[in-house]
Each structure stands twice: as structure tokens, then as C-alpha cells.
Chains A and B, each alone.
Chain A
Amino acid sequence: MSPLRRFLRTPEAVAGAILLAVLIAMALSAPLLFPGDPQAIAGPALLSPFQDWSLPLGTDRLGRNVLAELFHGARTSLAVGLAAAAAALVVGAVVGTLAGFAGGLVDEVLMRITDAFQTVPSFLLALAFVSVVGSSLGIVAIAIALGTWTGPARVARAEVLSIRERDYVAGARVIGMHPLVIAFREVLPNALPPVLAMSSVIVAAAILTEAALSFLGLGDPNRVTWGGMIAEGRAVLRTAPFLSIVPGIALVLTVLGVYLAGEGIVETTAVRRGLS
């Protein structure tokens, strides 16, 4: 059975994939369906959902279209989540591979740096970084990656430690391959599967962290974010709870979708590896 068919036979994975597909469709179609600034005033303030079909999810305190904000917010969440996770995975894999393969002093130094980053709560680290450097989209992604690369680094190092004892690494040394080439061409690709298996959790965590930063008003001020929308709605939580509930649900479904789809991919590829 092909991995794709096995993936499609797992109901959770399919549910996750559908959620993700919807999210990506929202992100991609946002500029087409809602051209112009989503933060522009579109109607009367605090219009409840399902009252006016040109503003299906109503408006916020300033009269902005909630649906448009939701679509544009999906872009921010997805962009920051993926960028932060990619940065964390790349940095983690490289640091872990170098530490595990080189051993000795290099390993010692790199792992103590990893420890240092790991002892500071990752959210606090992101918060401090954004407060000092500023808060553009890229900076937020870097801030989140700063607190999350240590996990992939540790997993990569553990994997590399076992792979570097294998015969084919000795074989590469015997034919005179340069140690850095061995580390990144022979060892790293084979150490990646368990590191990539963490990606769904990391993406989900990055999306949540981005939302939390925005909620605290430390997100990119020029972009609509779900965290920012929730914060906006907090002031009128009693009279217009939908302003917080709608982006909140979007956030929950996104994290769920990323997680389920990621687990589905890991499961199906793991089964294939187990068979061969």
C-alpha cells in the first residue's frame, strides 16, 4: 500500500489535512476575496455575526470586517508558524549534527549553549527579543525560533551519535572524505526523520506563540493577527464575545489541523520504514 493511501485511510490524518487545506486556502485567497486593507473600516462598529451578509462575521469595535481580518490573520499565522519552525529545525539540525559528529570540545561548547537557551522559558525569550529588537514579521519568527531550536538540536545530536558509529561513516572516512562533508552529506540526511517528526509540534507551538505575542501587543503592528484580534475583543468580552471566540476557534482548529496532519505523515512514513 502506498504511503498516500495509508495516510488517506487514517481518519485523524484526513481531518488534519482538510483543516490545513482550508487554512492554506484562506491564506492564499485573502488578497483576492478581501482586497485592500483588512484594517480599514467596513461598516458600523460591533455588528454581530450573521446580521449583514456583506459582513457575515460582523465587525469589531472600530467597524472592521471580522471575516476579512480572519482571512488575513491566517496568512500571518501560517507565515510566522512555518518560518519560525523552519528556522528552528534548520538551526537545530545543523547545531545537533556538528555537536554530535565533532564530539569533544565542539560538542561541549554547543551543548552548553543549547542548555543556556533551554533553561530560559522560550516564551520569555521571544518576549524579550521582540521588546528589544522590534516587531516585524521576520523578527517575530526569529524570536520564536530562538526558543524552539534546542529540541531539534538535542534530537539531531542523539541520532548523529548513533549514526556516526555505523560502518558507512567509517567507510566514508576510509575513502578520504572531508569530515564536514561526511557530517552534512552522509550523516545529517539520515538523522533527519526523527527531527522532522517534531515539526508538527513545533509549527503548532510557533503559531500559538505568535498569537500570544500579538495578544500582548508585541506582534507586527502592520498586520492582522489572530492573537491581536482576541486582544481587541477582550475589551468588549461581555457584550461582543464573538470577537474573541471567532479567532480563538480559528487558532484551535489550525493547531489541531497541523498536529493531526503532521502525526499522520509521521505514522505513515514510520510504518513504511518499519516494513523495509
Chain B
Amino acid sequence: MTALATIRDLTVTYRRDGSEVAALKSINLDIAVGERLAIIGESGSGKSTLALAIARLLPASSAVSGGIEWPGLAHAPLGGRDIGFVFQDPSASLDPVMAIGKQIAEVAHTHLGLTWPQAYAKAKHLLERVRLPDPGSALRAFPHQLSGGQKQRVAIAAAIAAGPKLLIADEATSALDTIVQAEIVALIRRLVTEDGMTLLFISHDIALAAELAERIAVFRHGQLVELGTTAEIVGAPAQAYTRTLLDAHIGLDAKPLLNRAGLDV
């Protein structure tokens, strides 16, 4: 496999009021070109820190040792051009007072050197690709006029506008309801396949990750607990913690916890 990125001994520490908290502890991980890799973990697992570290978006108060190399790129990656990032809350990542067409066109204008008319044409095409209804007039719409799911579609369009090699989705569907979540997951899968992008899908939901990813990395307390193909992780987990996560999933086929006989009054 060709590696897009190789992460070696990556340790990230946050400094907060004098004390240091290790968010990631010597992580080693390869991201293959074109794969769909899911990072799963509970709160405090370091999964979001990993996403930020890869996208070079860590806050200034953090200390980083070890490193990330990019054999799959000819040059050091540039956020927005080589890496697209979709956050959990689309309202926070979109500018509330800028028309969405301009927000997407700006990415294309900045990173691809397109003229503004070309960039707007590209933005319209992208809105079609993320299946926003009526892309022509949507270009002039503002974020508050869209639903949560539509905003996330726009955020995805902006993230892929410069044709990045890597798309990072950090809990990108967690704020959405189940039906919209399924639509966004399907959208991400389709876009990644069509453009041959590599996907890093950060989630707390092992079932959701299993539906989308080819490989799953399980994180806990800043450490990589287990890494394997989705079939391995779901079907034959090697680590007890992975099994705990799988057992904790309450699917539609789970045995009801409720003792129904008790209700008969």
C-alpha cells in the first residue's frame, strides 16, 4: 500500500493553567492513499486531537513531538488545498454573513487560482454534487436559511472545493438526526469514491464507522488501542476495549433490556 501520510511517534500535550495534559501518546499510524479510515473513541480518547494535528489546526497552546510525513504528496500539505476538513457544527464553520456561493468560490479562487466567474461556476457545480436543491439560487443563500443537514452539505462542498487529497470529517454527522446522518454518510462515501480522495472519518459511533470505513483505528486515553480492517475489528476484535465498545452498541437487533413481563398490571 502507498502511504499518503505516515504518523510517527506523535505526542500532543495541551498546557492548561500550568498543568500539562497529554492528548495523544506516541501514535504510529499510516494512512493509505485512497482508503477510508475511521478513528473511533469516546470523549478524551484524543481522536479529535489527531484530526487537528493532521490538518495542522492544533491550538498554539499545544506542544507536539514526533511527526507526520507525507510520502503521498510532493510537498508539505496546505490546509484547505490538500486537506479538506468538515467539523461537527456546520454553523460554526460557515460565515453567517457571507453568501454560501462566495464561501465555496473563495476556496477555489484562493487555492486553484480560478477567476471569480470560474470559481462561482465551480461553486455551483459543487452544490450540485452535494445535492443541494436548486444550486443556482442556493449560491446567493445565507447559512441561516438552510437546515442543519443542508449546511453540512455546504460545508462539505467548501471542504472539497480545492480538490484535496485527504478529507477529514470530525464527528461531521453527530449533530444531525438519524435520517440526515445517513444521507450525509452516503454523500461522503460517494464524493470520496468519485474523486479518489482519502477519508479520515472521526466518530464516537462504531456502527456508523463500520458502515463507512475500510479500516478502523480504536483510540482510548490518547493511545491507539487497536487497528484493523472493519471486518477484523467488528468480527474478531483483539482487544477487550474494542469488544466493550461493540457490546455497548445498542442496535435494532439488540435484546431488550426491559423485563416486559414486569409491566403486566
Contacts and interface: CB of A to CB of B under 8 A. Distances in A.
Direct contact of A and B (CB under 8 A): yes
A4 interface: no
5 contacts: A1-B17, A1-B18, A2-B17, A275-B16, A275-B17
Contacts of A1: 17-18
Nearest to B16: A275
A22 to B, nearest CB: 32
A208 B25 CA distance: 58
Interface in B9-27: 16-18
A2 B17 CA distance: 7
A1 B18 CA distance: 6
Interface string A108-144: 0000000000000000000000000000000000000
Contacts of A2: 17
Interface in A149-163: none
Interface of B: 16-18
Interface residues of A, number: 3
B76 to A, nearest CB: 30
Interface in A1-34: 1-2
Contacts of B18: 1
Contacts of B17: 1-2, 275
Nearest to A3: B17
Contacts of B16: 275
The 5 closest A-B pairs by CB, nearest first: A1-B18, A275-B16, A1-B17, A275-B17, A2-B17
A255 to B, nearest CB: 33
A1 B16 CA distance: 8
Nearest to A272: B17
A59 B16 CA distance: 57
B61 to A, nearest CB: 9
Nearest to A5: B18
A106 to B, nearest CB: 31
Nearest to B15: A1
Interface in A257-276: 275
Nearest to B18: A1
B16 to A, nearest CB: 7
B17 to A, nearest CB: 7
A2 B19 CA distance: 12
A47 to B, nearest CB: 56
A1 B17 CA distance: 5
A193 to B, nearest CB: 19
Contacts of A275: 16-17
B63 to A, nearest CB: 16
A182 B184 CA distance: 41
B20 to A, nearest CB: 13
B122 to A, nearest CB: 37
A1 B19 CA distance: 9
A2 B16 CA distance: 11
A272 to B, nearest CB: 8
A125 B66 CA distance: 67
B210 to A, nearest CB: 33
A269 to B, nearest CB: 13
A246 B16 CA distance: 47
A275 B18 CA distance: 12
B119 to A, nearest CB: 35
A102 B17 CA distance: 39
B66 to A, nearest CB: 26
A1 to B, nearest CB: 6
A214 to B, nearest CB: 46
